[in-house]
Amino acid sequence: MPTLDFTRIKEIPIADVCARYKVALRYRGEWGSAMCPLPTHKQGEREKTFSISTAKNYFKCFSTSCNEQAGCKGGDVINFVALMDGCSQLDAAKKLADWFTIPEIKTASHMGKPSNQKPEMQKATSEPSTSGENLKYMQEVEAWFDATFKQGEQEPDEEYRKRCLKSLKSRLLDSYRAGQRSKAA
């Protein structure tokens, strides 16, 4: 039975999700800050207590009002959407998968059943060798690319350019580090 790919959903850049909610982030290095958009935030508070980490892909609100409502307010993209929309984590994950075009994955119970995939795709995904891993990696890259380079409706061009460049640099650095780790192993 197909299920949500929570790993890929949680990898959606928090900055891209904030852009969907029109959160005006100001960046300083890998950190972005803004007026807190969470519904639990007390109206009238003027401090920029809401922060995101683009490197670690999480958000946090340091305001007293948000933290009094339900303890420490922070988490990943799923937590953020659930708080913003007042919905369950599952509904938030479904919404994110829809927004960022992340397909459902097949669970092990369906592995032996016939597939609707083209024969060449069946071969690529059923082989235990690296070709299946390569396909998965390329799908992840495609999803990252689509999420990164989709400009928010109200996102100014300069902020869009900066966000894209920052995301691209981060992805390249992660790839470089992974290559260095594999060389060392």
Residue 106 has which token pair?
């097949």
For domain 6-184, which architecture applies?
Alpha-Beta Complex (3.90)
Can you give the pTM of this predicted structure? 0.56
Please give the pLDDT value at position 107: 66
Q: Which of 49, 60, 57, 62 is nearest to 30 (CA)?
A: 57
Distance CA 80, CA 14 (A): 9
The pLDDT confidence band at residue 71, using thresholds 50, 70 and 90, is low
Which pLDDT band, with edges at 50, 70 and 90, does 97 fall under?
Answer: very high
